[in-house]
Amino acid sequence: MLQIGFSPNSYTYVSLIGSCAKIGCAQSGQKCHGQALINGVDRILPVQNSLIHFYSCCGLVEFARKVFDEMTQRDSVSWNSIINLYAGIGEWVLLMTFLMKMMNSGLRGNDRTIVGVLSACGKSARLKEGRSVHGFLIRTSLKLSIILDTSLIDMYSKCQKVELARRIFDSMLHKNLICWNAMILGHCIHGNPEDGLNLFAEMISGDGEAIPDEVTYIGLLCACARAGLLTEGRNFFSQMMHTYSLKPNFAHYWCMANLYAGVGLVQEAENILRNIAEGDENVLSESLVWANLLSLCRFQANATFGERIAKCLINMEPWNFSHYRLLLNVYAVAGKWNDVARVKEMVKGRRMRRMPGCNLVDLKEIVHNYRVGHCLQEGIEEINMMIDEVAERPSS
């Protein structure tokens, strides 16, 4: 286009910057920003909004904020973009500051923004901020949609206020599978497991509009694991396959392994995990999740299986702190204190520091955040404290 004499305008750069945001190409996007500056269109509102979105997608928070601060005019897209940015990185003070400024400016966040904020509140158990957003929705008489109601249910459940989530759920005139799942998982994972199982029975006994899916059964199997309901768990596992033709994934198998381990059938739990590893070559590629799945093997004195998998994970991702913790736990329960000391020295020698947590999504996130509370063995806490000490010690 340049070669044949046409000059780019603001629409050109909105498209180019948007493309760079989609593919996360920071270098090309910054070049486009420079060209927009040269051509005098960098101060046009749609271009500035595109730049905020682009820098947010690339994790360049300071650049996004600089563009926002230098804007002489802002619209709802500008505010929503900066709020979504701070919601994504968990900057709560700035998030709430910008949210309130936007509301005082007479603008309101779109559903996507509010959902993003509520989701961030739920993930970080920020009940105070979540209730503030809910209060804003009530004060502004904003008409709630199924999406917003479901987000509120999810937020309150993750903040351990399942009774408030249920109140919202019961007040909904129309419900789809997503909101049924949110409430079932709220009870099963964060509240009373039996309430979740009862709600599932109510769902499938209705008019048939909500048919359970894979997410539904994550909640049910977690509930059975928490309550030690082996027979019910086996029945649900069979039901999802034979009644609803749903193929179990690693999340369902992991919940079943927790269920078996929780009732003392540790060998059966290990067999489930071993079969997953042998049957799916792609499982090991999701190593952070897999490390959580294989943490069950630390509850068994025979460390061979856990040792083999932990070493495999370390070879794939030698920088990942969680894999070393897994190996230490495996050795500790097996009483292999010499190996514990050896791994400790390995961590020190590599001068590792604790890695930040990984935000997993969809089924992975549910599984990652669900922990077995009654299978801890003697020695685990001491080892965790020891590795924390090593990780937090400044390198010389």
Q: What is the domain partition of the chain in residue ranges?
A: 1-73, 75-83+103-173, 175-248, 265-396
Mean pLDDT of 349-365: 43
Q: Which residue has the tokens 């998030």?
A: 95
Euclidean distance between CA atoms 87 and 84, whole angstroms: 5
Pair 327, 343: CB distance under 8 Å: yes
CB 273 within 8 A of CB 297: yes
Q: Can you tell me the distance from the alpha carbon of 103 to that of 76, in angstroms, rounded to the nearest whole number?
A: 10
Confidence of residue 274 (pLDDT cuts 50, 70, 90): low
Give the model's pLDDT for residue 366. Answer: 38
Among the residue ranges 125-129, 136-140, 205-209, 217-221, the one predicted with the least confidence is 205-209
Give the model's confidence band at 107: pLDDT under 50 very low, under 70 low, under 90 confident, else very high.
confident
Let me know: does 184 contact 366? Beta carbons within 8 Å. no
Report the candidate in 250, 287, 256, 270 with the shortest Cα–Cα distance to residue 330.
270
Gap between the Cα atoms of 77 and 73, Å rounded: 11
Residue 379 has pLDDT above 80, yes or no: no
Confidence band, pLDDT 50/70/90 cuts, at residue 361: very low
Neighbours of 229 (CB within 10 A): 21
What amino acid is encoded at 90 in this protein? G
Strand ranges (E), 153-225: none
Angle in degrees, CA 215, 192, 367, rounded to 5 = 35
pLDDT exceeds cutoff 90 at 317: no
> Would you place residue 197 in the very low, low, confident or very high pLDDT band (cuts 50, 70, 90)?
very high
Contacts of 290 (CB under 8 A, 6+ apart): 250, 283, 284, 309, 313
